[in-house]
Structure 1
């Protein structure tokens, strides 16, 4: 059944109003009619089966027929911090990372990031990023939309990390360091409900200074298997492993 995230202001007394892009999708893409049903999500994670009552020129009105009890969110709160990659790789990470259960995405300007974005360009990019995670959340039947931040600096990243229960950074040099462990070595210590921050470098990886700064801030260096992964593959590898361990093995 098709799913849509509806803004809180558009819920009132058992009825909802759907406008803008979602209106277009319902009417012109899905070609729904009065009497058809779909799932509507509130941004607090609640979801309901709704039936279309009326279709007007720019508004779809629907009534709530019943509330659902769904558990599609990860039992741990996962934040992906990604050094800005080239091209459309960041958008791929947002889309696939949402499908795999990430709760928060933070891009950061790494020393080796080729891409340099100013605030003017970011104002145009952020709405697109938010649309990508919204649509990916609907497609994958999530009950919450991940948060996407503006691009931050390494200093801001370290400051944000202070509130997390677990902090890791994928470091290609970790394959040769005895004190660095795989992510799996920590799985048994992570408890449901805890917050986990995973930091991934850009195409050139982390600089030596960044690695030192992250370790000083309490990040654990980890390796992601015996092979060197592309920057857009690394966060998906981590998310898939976390999903398997916490959502499948612990079932």
Structure 2
């Protein structure tokens, strides 16, 4: 059954409405009509089976047939500091991060990023990234859409804003003694923040900044992973250790 998202304020009693870009998709692409049923998620863990009652150009109205709790979110909250990288690679990583259960994705402009905002247009791509996150959430059956930070951040801002997480890690090729498996002590971890480097890696100053906010430096092994590979590898391992993989 087709899945769509609508915010909680669009749900009242046994009725709900869908607005935005999904309306045209429902009406003109899928050609759904009154009487057809869809799944609607509210982003708070609730999934509704709804029967369409009205389909017009502005909104789609539906009657709620049933409601259930969607158990598709990981027990661990993971916040990813994702450096800007060339081409469409950032978009690809974003999709995979959503599939692997990240709760928040923060675009990072580090000192060695090839892609630079030059202090301008730090929010220009946010609407696109949020659309990608929503589409990926629908595709993989998540009950909530991960947040995408509205503005590109630097390393210090990311580390400062996530200093309260249970576990904080910066992955660095210069770390030769501490591996992720060494950090996993079996203790309960409910929130994790991590960042990886861009094509040119993180600078020594950025590593020291992360450490000053309590981030642990860790290695991903003896081989240097590409900028687009590292965050996906990390997410997979973290979900295996503390999440639901």
Aligned to 1:186: 183
Structure 1: stretches of 5+ with no match in the other structure: none
Cα separation, partners in 2 of 1:190 and 1:138, compared to 1, 3 Å? farther
Bigger mean CA offset, 183-192 vs 203-212: 183-192
Q: 1:10 to 1:118 in 2, by over 3 A?
A: farther
User: Which residue is 1:12 aligned to?
Assistant: 12
User: What secondary structure does 1:127 align onto?
Assistant: helix
The 1:29/1:215 distance shift into structure 2, 3 A limit, reads same
- Alignment match, 2:211: 215
Please say if residues 78 and 195 of structure 1, whose CA atoms lie closer than 8 Å, have aligned partners that are also in contact: yes
CA contact (8 A) 1:3 1:41 kept: yes
Judging by fraction of residues, say which structure has more helix.
1
Q: Mapping of 1:58-137 within 5 angstroms?
A: 58-117=58-117, 121-137=121-137
State the secondary structure of the residue aligned to 2:174. Answer: helix
Partner of 2:162: 161
CA contact (8 A) 1:76 1:191 kept: no
Give the distance between the partners of 1:133 and 1:121, measured in 2 at CA.
20
Alpha carbon RMSD of aligned pairs, Å?
A: 1.8
Moved over 6 A (4+): none
**How many angstroms apart in 1 are the aligned matches of 2:224 and 2:187?**
25
- Paired position in structure 1 for 2:50: 50
Q: Per-residue CA shift, 1:54-87, capped at 9, x if unaligned?
A: 2223321111111122211111000110222222
Query: How many residues are paired up?
Result: 244
The answer as to whether partners of 1:23 and 1:59 remain within 8 angstroms in 2 is yes
For 2:193, what is the secondary structure of its paired residue?
A: strand
Where structure 2 has 5 or more consecutive residues not aligned to the other structure, the ranges are: none
- Give 2:152's aligned residue: 151
Cα deviations by residue, 1:79-101 (Å, 9 ceiling, x for unpaired):
11022222222211211100110
User: Structure 1's 195 and 37: CA in aligned 2 closer, same or farther, altered over 3 A?
Assistant: same
1:171-250 aligned within 5 A:
171-174=172-175, 177-178=176-177, 180-181=178-179, 183-191=180-188, 194-247=190-243
2:156/2:210 contact within 8 Å kept: no
Partner of 2:26: 26
The separation in 2 between residues aligned to 1:152 and 1:46, in whole angstroms, is 31
- Give the TM-score, by structure 2 length: 0.92
Partner of 1:3 in structure 2?
3
Bigger shift: residues 109-118 or 142-151:
109-118
Deviations 1:180-201 (A, max 9, x none): 22x2333343525x11011111
